[in-house]
Chains A and B, each alone.
Chain A
Amino acid sequence: EPEVTQTPSHQVTQMGQEVILRCVPISNHLYFYWYRQILGQKVEFLVSFYNNEISEKSEIFDDQFSVERPDGSNFTLKIRSTKLEDSAMYFCASSETTVPNSPLHFGNGTRLTVT
């Protein structure tokens, strides 16, 4: 079964550094998302992306965050200047069409640790 793949599985960075989290969505999917989960807490929406532009973003997704689909397969989340509170599990997801007409498929996440 096709799956969403994320790299790296764990990223450790120092406060103030830039990080890029990478995702390869399922190949025929058109809608892409980033969610995050702070340890032991709920899964929170960050951003959705369709047709090469952001379609929706949360208040968490401020100017320090950006997303890009640099080629036909990758989808990236960049955090320009990481803060301690950015430490979380970041999940990429994709869907064939809009939710709820098709389900969200999540990757296994990147654990980001900011020291």
Chain B
Amino acid sequence: QQQVKQSPQSLIVQKGGISIINCAYENTAFDYFPWYQQFPGKGPALLIAIRPDVSEKKEGRFTISFNKSAKQFSLHIMDSQPGDSATYFCAAPGSYNTDKLIFGTGTRLQVFP
């Protein structure tokens, strides 16, 4: 079964700084890598996702960088804001031809003014 390793466990960033969260996966056969954002008391919400046919995807201040050869993908949050303070999860398909997502262990981001 696919494993997804996420780091760091927690991250403290000053307002305006760049937040970087990394994930590593095992199986190169899979083709979908989403990031979810979770605020306290809420369910995870899809933030941004990438397929491995591109090396980068940007949506506003959020960018996913994908390195297929290293089997890694990372989330960059530019100009981090206090409102970005949340837990971020990367995910990957659990296996081939599945609806199951395997989540990383999460990164708790705190952005201080």
Residues of A within 8 A of B (CB): 4, 31, 33, 41-45, 48, 50, 55-56, 58, 91, 93, 95, 98-100, 103-109
Contacts and interface: CB of A to CB of B under 8 A. Distances in A.
Contacts of A45: 94, 100-102
A105 B106 CA distance: 18
Interface residues on B, range: 20 to 34
B104 A42 contact: yes
Interface stretch (B12-20, B37-45, B54-62, B74-82): B37-45
Contact of A41 (B32, B46, B51, B105): B105
A4 B49 CA distance: 20
Contact of B98 (A41, A50, A56, A93): A56
Which of B44, B46, B49 is packed against the most chain A CB atoms within 10 Å? B44
Given A4-B43, A45-B94, A105-B46, 15 more contacts: A31-B99, A33-B99, A41-B105, A42-B104, A43-B44, A45-B100, A45-B102, A58-B100, A95-B99, A100-B49, A100-B51, A100-B93, A103-B34, A106-B43, A109-B43
A57 B52 CA distance: 26
Nearest to B102: A45
Nearest to B103: A43
17 contacts: A4-B43, A42-B89, A45-B100, A48-B100, A55-B99, A56-B98, A56-B100, A58-B100, A91-B43, A100-B31, A100-B49, A100-B51, A106-B43, A107-B43, A108-B42, A108-B43, A109-B42
A100 B43 contact: no
B103 to A, nearest CB: 4
A40 to B, nearest CB: 9
A91 B105 CA distance: 16
A40 B109 CA distance: 14
Nearest to B100: A45
Contacts of A4: 43
Nearest to B33: A100
Which of A93, A100, A107, A109 is packed against the most chain B CB atoms within 10 Å? A100
A103 B49 contact: yes
